[in-house]
Amino acid sequence: MKNFLCYIMLLSFLSVAYTNSAFSQEDEEGFDVSDPLNSQSSIAAGLGYTNIGGENFIGMRIQPELALGKLGFGLDVPIMFNVSSGKLRTEEYKNGVGVLRMIRYLRWGVKKKDPVYIRVGDISGSYLGYGMLMNNYSNAVSFEKRKVGITWDILVKNFIGIEGIYSDLDFSSLNLLGIRPYIKPFGMTRIPILKSMDIGFSYVTDKDNTVLETEDEDGDIKRIEKRYVNDGITAYAIDMGVKIINTSILHLAFYAQYGNLNDIDSDALKTKVKTEYNIENFKPGDGFSVGFDFKLKFLGDVLRLDARLERLWYTNYFTPQFFDANYEADKDGKILSLANIEKKQGIYGSLSFHVINKIRITGNLMLPDEVGLKSPASVGLELDASRLIEKFVVKGQYFKGGLTDLSDAFKFDERSVATVRVAYKVNKFLVAGLDYRWTWSVMEDGEYKADNYISPYIGFSFPLNFGSGGDSQD
């Protein structure tokens, strides 16, 4: 099965070249899904200080970024020296894909706008289909051990397509893989509304048996393996969507989807669930949802509104958007948490404002009707105000899952992931600022632990006045 799935993924990538040369998608008038706050080409580096795991480091991160048409490319090259020993810090290059972590992202196109979309590296914010199984997924919950993943969406002749995600190009194990073949049965016609319909089938699997190596204070190497996810978790979903209105200023779409988490064949998990929760027959359940997606542009790009509202019904041992921003931080814990989930109903909503191409504010909320241990909520926020005030850069992202009490939504703990950057442009090239990260670090025992980094820096940012890209993930 592992080899078969890898072959499917490889064949879908090989089809990109053929798709580009042999097919072209007829431009369809409608709402432009590109993010108006596009990246600009630049070369930046910041010299600063940071404390990691109780040790002090000084150095820089060189971050060139290219945005040229559909092509986007960004690097993150850390050069950090230990203040006490003077040694170059190499931990970020160990395990997994190693030095490939320097590739922050490489992308082509914009998902759901261009017929060919590919992104390699940090694939935070990824989704599959309409999000029943996977939404707001991130493969970079640990800044120290960020992974190089790949996500793609290829549509041929506006008729048949395939989208997918692979979390980590370290092929020593079958990591998180999601594939969604889909069809637009009326896509090649000019029938209003029906030509926008798409029907898809999603399959997600994860059999992560990566062996993590950590080094203790004495320099001894420990090999840590995961438990439950080793035996594999699989899920599938069926979905359908149609654009009811699709003009240059207004977009309204309706969708429906059904998802199922399959039985997890792990004796260790079943024993744990039986002894701790007194559950004899633990079999993950399923869920169903219907929703609307609404987009509006007012006076050009003076105000842009993106909204999504979805009603969900799900059974015992199932949670919508199971593969989310926190999944990679603790896969075993996420799987075990299913034992607490009871049959519920709930709402998923997201709202995003773009104002005069200067500021973007985005929020999303997964809210069961009765929030509690057996029906946790999740919340996410994103802010980009880098163009609002001249000479200032303000950016931030925040996600928290497993919420049993909404009053804890914005308290940083082991369920949180956050990044914040505040900087001042001293002149056209010189920048002084502060980076803050609440992320996950790998401890000596192999467990992930919430930790924070505060990194003041001074550096340069040299804009390259050519090209622009469009990908909301950049």
Given a cut of 90, is residue 137 above it in pLDDT? yes
Section 431-454 average pLDDT: 71
Question: What's residue 222's pLDDT?
Answer: 52
Q: How many CB atoms lie within 10 A of CB 88?
A: 12
Q: Give me the pLDDT at residue 14, please.
A: 37
pLDDT band at 237 (very low <50, low <70, confident <90, very high): very high
Count the helix, strand and coil residues of the chain and give each as a percent rounded to the nearest 5: 15, 50, 35
pTM as predicted: 0.77
**Residue 2 pLDDT > 60, yes or no?**
no
Has residue 13 got a pLDDT over 50? no
How far apart are the C-alpha atoms of 177 and 13, rounded to whole Å?
14
What's the pLDDT band for 349 if we cut at 50, 70, 90?
Answer: very high
Residues 6+ apart with CB under 8 A from 118: 13, 16, 107, 108, 109, 150, 151, 152
Burial class (CB in 10 A: 0-12, 13-18, 19+), 13: middle
Q: Which of 143-147, 182-186, 367-371, 463-467 has the lowest mean pLDDT?
A: 463-467
Q: pLDDT grade, residue 17 (50/70/90)?
A: very low
Which residue reads 């309706």 in tokens?
254
pLDDT, average across residues 154-167: 96
User: Cα–Cα distance between 27 and 113 in angstroms, integer?
Assistant: 9
Stretch 104-118: mean pLDDT, rounded? Answer: 93
Q: Angle 42-44-47 (CA atoms, 0-180°, nearest 5)?
A: 175
Supply the pLDDT for residue 169.
Answer: 87
Residue 345 vs residues 241, 289, 391: alpha-carbon distances, Å: 21, 10, 46
pLDDT reported for residue 224: 54
Closest by CA to 238, choosing from 197, 263, 202, 291, is 202
Give the mean pLDDT of 146-152. 89
Q: Which is nearest to 208 in space by CA: 341, 335, 340, 378?
A: 335
Give me 141's structure tokens. 């919950």
* Tokens 């509202």 found at: 309
Weakest mean pLDDT among 16-25, 283-292, 402-411: 16-25
Asked whether the predicted pLDDT for residue 10 surpasses 50, the reply is: no
Question: What contacts 342, CB < 8 A, 6 or more positions away?
Answer: 316, 374, 375
Measured in whole angstroms, how far is the alpha carbon of residue 197 from the centre of its chain? 25
Mean pLDDT of 142-169: 89
Is the pLDDT reported for residue 474 higher than 60?
A: no
Average pLDDT estimate for 149-176: 92
Contacts of 371 (CB under 8 A, 6+ apart): 377, 403, 404, 405, 406
What ranges make up the beta strands (E) of 167-302? Answer: 174-183, 198-207, 212-215, 221-224, 233-246, 250-261, 286-298
Produce one character per residue of 312-341: b if its CB has 16 or more CB atoms within 10 Å, e if not.
bebbbbbbbbbbbbbbbbbbbbbbbbbbbb
The two beta strands, 430-442 and 359-368, are unpaired
Buried b (16+ CB within 10 A) or exposed e, 384-398: bbbeeeeeebbbebb
Rounded CA-CA distance 23/157 in Å is 6
Closest to 235 (Cα-Cα) out of 273, 201, 187, 212: 201
Query: Rounded to 5 degrees, what angle do the CA atoms 37, 39, 45 make?
Result: 130
DSSP 418-445: EEEEEEEESSSSEEEEEEEEEEEEE-TT
Residue 345 has pLDDT above 80, yes or no: yes
| Total length of the chain | 474
Q: Which two tokens stand for residue 220?
A: 């001894």
Question: What is the C-alpha separation between 84 and 67, in angstroms, rounded?
Answer: 39
Average pLDDT of every residue of the chain? 81
User: In terms of DSSP H, where are the helices of 195-289?
Assistant: 267-277
Residue 105 has pLDDT above 60, yes or no: yes
Reported as type and span, the H/E element at residue 382 is: strand 377-384
Dump pLDDT digits (tens) for 449-468: 667 778 888 877 777 665 44
Q: What is the pLDDT of residues 363-387, one digit of tens each?
A: 999 999 989 888 899 999 999 988 7
Instruction: Let me know: does 154 contact 163? Beta carbons within 8 Å.
Output: yes
Q: Is the pLDDT of residue 346 over 50?
A: yes
- Residue 473: per-residue pLDDT: 47
Give residue-wise pLDDT tens across range 19-68.
333 333 333 457 777 665 555 677 777 778 887 767 788 888 888 888 88
Using left for φ > 0, alpha for ψ between -120 and 50, and beta otherwise, residue 277 falls in alpha
**pLDDT tens digits, one per residue of 211-220:** 655 555 555 5
